[in-house]
Amino acid sequence: MEPKQTIRVLDNDQGYITLLDHMGSEVDIVNAARVSYDKYTDTMRERDHKLLRYLIKNQHTSPLEMVVFKFEVYCPLFVTRQWFRHRMWSYNEVSRRYTSENIDFYIPQNFRKQDKKNKQVGSEQLDAQTQENLGREIEVATKQALQLYDNLLEKGVCREQARMVLPQNLMTKFIGRTDLNNLIKFLKLRDDSHSQWEIRVYAQAIKELIGTIVPTVIKECFHGDNAEN
């Protein structure tokens, strides 16, 4: 496949997502759709793009499952917990039961006020001075948590217990794999105005990473007449 592509995200580029591998392309989608007729093609022609648009518009999505993507994701723990709610992915994550190395924390530069109408999300940003002060407070808190963690390990506490004092802004790494159909569902939910910004930027990066592999699918799902957002 092509060289691995990585996009950095979050404040100060503290996170990233890498497209590790993929299987299949839009040709495989239309071939799966036409297998009932025992018909195949090697290249995408206009009628194939038309068929692809028809499949998406009419929600005949099982052929999309013939295309699979695998990513490496480096993100805060609280983003991972949102991500893992999407159960049609396969995941493997760095475990703090096995390693106490490469510990880092996400320190945001921008803090949002709680939206007055939507209990799920934040709205406009706090003033600059308040944001700067809060950033320093978070840095202090995470350093204290890390010191306590190191102290527990030095006193002989096992890693699987010591990790419980590490906060939700701990950066973690996981590998995730899913098919295109379920990836599109993920993107529709996570690149939405109601989604948390810290996971939304990953969804936007995924669109960019896969855009050259399945361009018609991306255009039809997110920029076509039937796009929902």
Domain boundaries, the chain: 5-93+171-222, 112-165
pLDDT of residue 36: 81
The answer on whether 89 is annotated among ligand-binding residues is no
User: Distance of CA 210 to CAs 51, 55, 117, 144, 190, Å?
Assistant: 20, 19, 34, 40, 16
Q: What are the residue numbers of the active site?
A: 190
The single residue listed with the structure tokens 């499952």 is 65
Q: Is 112 annotated as a binding residue?
A: no
pLDDT (0 to 100) of residue 113: 87
Report the amino acid identity of residue 72: E
pLDDT in tens, 8-21: 999 999 999 999 99
Q: Where are the beta strands (DSSP E) in the chain?
A: 5-9, 15-23, 68-76, 90-93, 112-114, 122-125, 171-179
pLDDT for 229: 44
CATH 3.30.70.260 fits 5-93+171-222, yes or no: no
pLDDT, block means (10 residues), the chain with 229 residues: 84 97 96 88 93 94 96 98 96 95 94 76 81 94 97 97 97 98 97 93 98 96 64
Tell me whether residue 53 is annotated as binding: no
